[in-house]
Amino acid sequence: MAGVPTTYDAPVHIAVIGGTGIQSLPGFSLAATLNIDTPWGAPSSPISILHHPSPTTGKPTPIAFLSRHGLHHELAPHEVKNQANIAALRHIGVRTIIAFSAVGSLQEEIKPRDFVIPDQIIDRTKGIRPFTYFEGGMVGHVGFGDPFDVALAAIVRQCGRALEGEGVRLHDTGTLICMEGPQFSTRAESQLYRAWGGSVINMSALPEAKLAREAEMAYQMICMATDYDCWRGEVGEDVNVEMVMGHMKANAENAKRFVGAVLDELSKEEHGDQVLARHLAGQMKFAGGMTHKEGRGKEVEGKLKWLYPGYFD
C-alpha cells in the first residue's frame, strides 16, 4: 500500500495468524508492512504491524498480523510457509501467537459458529510438510505434551467466557485432529477420529504449533466450527467450501471481537512476562544444542544462528 512504512523499529511481541476467511484484521491502524526474508524463504504473506491501544496505558501495542494462506488464499494447507512464518515472527520479536482456524466439528454439541479453545492435538499430517528447524546436522528435541501454552490458553478462555451470551458460544477444551489436506476426510476417517475422542478437525495446526514451540513462543489456536465434517452422513450435510466460508462470513464479527478482546487483555502490563514467554526463553539453547560444534551441518548452523542469535556461537 502506497505510503505505508516498510520498516518498524521497535520489537513486536504479539502476533495473530489469520486463517480461512480472516486475511486481515480491520479496525486497527496500520503502522507498517514488513517483507521479511528468512533462511527458510519468504513467509506466506507480508507482515502487517497494527497498532492496538492498550486498555491500561492507552499507549499503542504493536501487533503483527500474518495471513496463513497468503493475502488471496493462494496457499493450500500443505503449502503454507510455516517455517518462514514462525521464523519471521520470532525475528521481529514475537513471543506470543494467537492463531485462528476454521474447523469441522466432530461432536454434536459443538455447533457451527461455536468457538473451541483446544488443549490437545492428534497429528494426522503425512510428513510431507517441513516440520522442524532442527535437521540437516543439528539435532534438537522439545517437549510437546501440552501443544498449546497453558497460561496463554487460560487468558484466551477468560476472554471468550466474557463474550459468552453476546452471540459467542465457547467450548473450553477439546482435542483437535490436524489432518493432511487439501481433500476433506472420508466418512470412515471422520468416524475413527470421533472414536479417538476428537472434538474438532482442521488442516493447519501442525506444524505451525510445533515450530512455534521450537521458536520458544507461547501459542494458542482459537477454532471456530464451520461444519460437521462428514460423520453424520446426512444427505447434503457433508462439509464443503461454501459451507465453511458461509459460516466464517456470518460469524466474522464475533471472531474479530474475540481476537480483539484477547489483544486487549494481552496488552495489559500485568501480562508482560507471559507475552514475552519468559518461561520458554532459552530452552532451545540446551534442547537444540545436542550436536557438538565440530559435527554441525554448516548450512543449518547458519540458519539457526539467524533464528536464535547468540545460542549456537
Region of 158 (left: φ > 0; alpha: ψ -120 to 50; beta: rest) is alpha
Which one of 32, 97, 102, 275 is in contact with ligand LNRAV4D5 (CB under 6 A)? 102
DSSP, collapsed to helix, strand or coil, labels residue 4 as: coil
Is the Cβ–Cβ distance between 85 and 17 less than 8 Å? yes
| 194 labelled ligand-binding | no
- The residue among 69 and 81 lying less far from ligand ADE, judged by its C-beta, is 69
- Does 104 help bind ligand ADE (rule: CB under 6 A)? yes
In whole angstroms, the minimum distance from the beta carbon of 9 to ligand LNRAV4D5 comes to 31
Which one of 48, 202, 220, 267 is in contact with ligand ADE (CB under 6 A)? 202
- Does 140 help bind ligand ADE (rule: CB under 6 A)? no
- The residue among 201 and 275 lying less far from ligand ADE, judged by its C-beta, is 201
- The residue among 95 and 124 lying less far from ligand LNRAV4D5, judged by its C-beta, is 124
Catalytic residue among 114, 229, 238, 264: 229
Q: How far apart are CA 282 and CA 109, in angstroms?
A: 41
Q: Is 43 exposed, middle or buried (0-12, 13-18, 19+ CB in 10 A)?
A: buried
Q: How far apart are CA 95 and CA 85, in angstroms?
A: 13
Query: Which among 167-175, 222-230, 267-275, 296-304 is the span making contact with ligand ADE, rule CB under 6 A?
Result: 222-230
Query: Which among 82-90, 202-210, 261-269, 302-310 is the span making contact with ligand LNRAV4D5, rule CB under 6 A?
Result: 202-210
- Does 184 help bind ligand ADE (rule: CB under 6 A)? yes
Which one of 52, 68, 91, 171 is in contact with ligand LNRAV4D5 (CB under 6 A)? 68
Q: Are strands 96-105 and 200-202 parallel, antiparallel or unpaired?
A: antiparallel
| 221 labelled ligand-binding | no
Look up residue 252 and give its DSSP letter.
Answer: H
Q: How far apart are CA 263 and CA 268, in angstroms?
A: 9
Is the Cβ–Cβ distance between 8 and 32 less than 8 Å? yes
Is-catalytic flag, 229?
Answer: yes
- Does 44 help bind ligand LNRAV4D5 (rule: CB under 6 A)? no
CA atoms lying within 13 Å on the CB side of residue 276: 8
> What is the amino acid identity at position 6?
T
- Does 274 help bind ligand ADE (rule: CB under 6 A)? no
Joined grid coordinates for residue 54: 492498550
- Chain positions contacting ligand LNRAV4D5, by CB under 6 A: 19-20, 68-69, 77, 101-102, 181, 202-204, 241, 244
